[in-house]
Each structure stands twice: as C-alpha cells, then as structure tokens.
Amino acid sequence: MSRLGKLPIEIPAGTQVKIENGLITVKGPKGELKEKTIDRVILELGEKEIKLSVKNPEDKTERSLWGMFRGIVNNMVTGVNKGFEKKLEISGVGYRAAVSGNKLVLNAGYSHPVNFQLPEGVTAKVEGNAIILNGINKYLVGEAAARIRKVRPPEPYKGKGIKYSDETIRRKAGKTAAK
C-alpha cells in the first residue's frame, strides 16, 4: 500500500473536478488545469473528495505511480484554489531584474541583459532584489524558477548570483595571503 496514495484528496468549496476520456480537469477560482490520467491508477470521484487506488497493489511500479499521481492531482486542486509562489533573490553589484510584459530582463553581470520569456500561466514581479513568481501549475512555477536561477547560479566566495530565498550558500574562505 502506498502511504500517500491511499489518502483521499479533499475538494474545497467552489472547485469542480471532472474525470472523462482519460483526462482529469480541475476548475477553481484561480483557473483551470488538465492532466492525462494513468491507466494503472483508478480515480473515484465522490462529493467532497477524490480517492485513488491501483489495480495491483503488489506491483512496485503501480504503487509508485499511485503516490506520484496522487501528488499531481493534489497539486492541481491546491493550485486552482491557492496558487503557488517561488521567491528568488539577486545579490551582486549591478545585478538587477525588471519585468516588461511577460519577459523578465535580468542584468546579472554579463555584458548584455538576459531576456527570460516567462511560460504561459506564470507571472513575475520584482520587489527590490527579490523576484516573485506566481502561478497555478506547480511544475511550471518551479521550472521557471530553476531556469532563472540557472542564468547566474550563486558562487561560493562572495555569494553573488541568483538564489532561492530559502537556499543557503556554503561559503568558501578563498585565498589567504602568503606570509
């Protein structure tokens, strides 16, 4: 038995869930998300909850798919109700970011500004040295944050670069002067 897979997913008020033609659709106050269902995982839609099960709970592959797909559906329900947010911090002299339309313009120590195209469904805002990404799809928000961080990852000597707000950078001492 999958410990996470067997937990039911509560459907909050104002959220609609449909399962038809191998597709699960979740509609809420913030938007709508669709995902293909996995044929090995059985979805049962109740009044206030979604229950997931598998055809053969002894098969290790099916058990892992069970827990994974439960997490995906739970993130869909959470996303259309609350949304997801990732914060990134920029540190370094002359490092800055600005939003223009659905592009993020990053000055990150290169000779040219880097234009980062935000994926559809992800919005960004810049407050001081922080970039805040919002969206209803957890995968897209996380992927966009990872790609922005990849423009200039933080370096270990001075800590310059783009990092997650909750990330800690292991600092190195650097060279010591010869005596």
| pLDDT tens, position by position, 85-138 | 999 999 989 899 999 989 999 998 889 999 999 999 999 999 999 999 999 999
pLDDT score, position 104: 93
pLDDT classification of 5: cutoffs 50, 70, 90 = confident
- Does 149 have pLDDT greater than 80? yes
Alpha helices in 14-137 (DSSP H): 60-81
pLDDT classification of 58: cutoffs 50, 70, 90 = confident
pLDDT score, position 177: 60
Q: How far apart (Å, rounded) are the C-alpha atoms in residues 55 and 57?
A: 6
CATH number of 84-164: 3.90.930.12
Asked if 5 and 70 touch (Cβ cutoff 8 Å), the reply is: yes
Structure tokens at 60: 């290790």
pLDDT score, position 56: 87
pLDDT above 90: percentage of residues in the chain: 64
Q: How many Cβ atoms sit within 10 Å of the Cβ of residue 100?
A: 8
Residues of the chain with CATH 3.90.930.12: 9-81, 84-164
- Does 76 have pLDDT greater than 80? yes
Q: How far apart (Å, rounded) are the C-alpha atoms in residues 21 and 126?
A: 41
Burial class (CB in 10 A: 0-12, 13-18, 19+), 25: middle
Q: Which CATH architecture has domain 9-81?
A: Alpha-Beta Complex (3.90)
pLDDT classification of 3: cutoffs 50, 70, 90 = confident
pLDDT score, position 169: 87
pLDDT score, position 10: 92
What are phi and psi for residue 178, nearest 5 degrees? -75, 140
pLDDT classification of 16: cutoffs 50, 70, 90 = very high
pLDDT score, position 132: 95
Residues 66, 69, 70, 76, Cα dihedral to 10°: -170
Helix or strand holding residue 166 (H, E):
none
Q: How far apart (Å, rounded) are the C-alpha atoms in residues 9 and 73?
A: 8
pLDDT classification of 63: cutoffs 50, 70, 90 = confident
